[in-house]
Amino acid sequence: MNILITGAAGFIGSAVCERFIKKGFNVTGLDNINSYYDPQLKYDRLAALGIKKENVDWYKFAKSEIHSNFSFIRMNLEDNQATQMLFANGDFDIVINLGAQAGVRYSIENPHAYVESNVDGFINILEGCRHNKIKHLVYASSSSVYGLNGKVPFSEHDGIAHPVSLYAATKKSNELMAHAYSKLYNLPTTGLRFFTVYGPWGRPDMSPFLFMDAILHDRPLKVFNNGDMWRDFTYIDDIVEGIVRIADVIPTPNPDWDEKNPDPATSSAPYRVYNIGNQKPTRLMDYISCIEKATGIEAKKDFLPMQPGDVYQTYADSSALAEATGFSPNTDLQDGINRTVEWFRSYFNC
């Protein structure tokens, strides 16, 4: 089986590449290695997969020196011609699209980057899948699509009409675009709404990394909404397990789908959307306590108001994922934080 994984130098993407490599797939990884955060972290993730930094160049394949079934190419998904050539020559069976411009707050500062990467790039992925008979497209959505929804836990069967950031809007647009291609071209697509992913090799712009960095370097934490926020923290290994399992569950049209009472999670087309979350929302202050326990250091805290684009809480109902795959995220938060702190200290020698 040949699989294309975009965002391969990213936090989730590199971990997903590793799992599919170990499963024996022929894996092609793709990433543009942009400078949204320190590219060296991305190169180090690739190095762990056997791709040396000096061998990475634009539009050229680099072969892993560890895994014979892994190769990597640096390119932009929004480059339509290059993307279509990649698909035409790749003979891919499955595509896992994790490549995107991430970050809620940065979408307020630089909205055009999100449209270019998350919308223009995604339409090129859809076109590549359509014209090359891809058996299954799995793509990253986000818990941020729930926006102003106050009903918890968040269910895929509820509407998502009120996003509060452009990032969330682009992820919702991906789901809409995928459905159109599923209906028009019978392309099986599955969207995965990730809930606050954390773990080793995590992104520097996310709270686990930011909080650990501040605590271990004796700086105050920026605690938004005065600590009155809840997040459904989901450990990276659980996210990867969900992706690997769902890749085997190729969606088919829902025979019970009712156009007079439409279910947003399914369709008369081969289309599905699933939450992947730990189903255990944690109060922000309790989450900080977990990091304090793991580091053995009491944090200094700078309490601030809610930031534009943030939501008060995230809380996943992952029962549909469990029904489809037999798996539900279950890593204990303290255990996951302990592992993350251990990696952080080792990687940054602190």
Answer for the pair 240, 331: CB distance below 8 angstroms, yes or no. Answer: no
What DSSP character marks residue 108?
Answer: H
- Helix (H, G, I), strand (E, B), or coil: what is residue 314? coil
Which residue reads 């309790």 in tokens? Answer: 286
Answer for the pair 71, 57: CB distance below 8 angstroms, yes or no. Answer: no
CA–CA separation, 190 vs 265, rounded Å?
10
CA–CA separation, 123 vs 140, rounded Å?
14
Of 178, 180, 211, give the one whose Cα is nearest residue 192. 178
Answer for the pair 145, 175: CB distance below 8 angstroms, yes or no. Answer: yes
- Which of the residues 36, 114, 146, 167 is marked catalytic? 167
Strands 189-194 and 230-231: unpaired
Answer for the pair 82, 75: CB distance below 8 angstroms, yes or no. Answer: yes
What DSSP character marks residue 234?
Answer: E
CA–CA separation, 276 vs 265, rounded Å?
13
Residue type, 2: N
Of 207, 204, 202, give the one whose Cα is nearest residue 222. 207
**Any residues with CB less than 8 A from the CB of 309 and at least 6 apart, and which?**
104, 105, 107, 108, 164, 165, 167, 168
Which residue reads 């996003």 in tokens? Answer: 163
Helical ranges in 139-251 per DSSP H: 166-185, 207-216, 236-247
CA–CA separation, 19 vs 28, rounded Å?
13
Q: Please confirm, yes or no, whether 185 is among the known catalytic residues.
A: no
Q: Is the dihedral of CA 87, 90, 91, 97 positive or negative?
A: negative
- Give the residue numbers marked as catalytic: 167
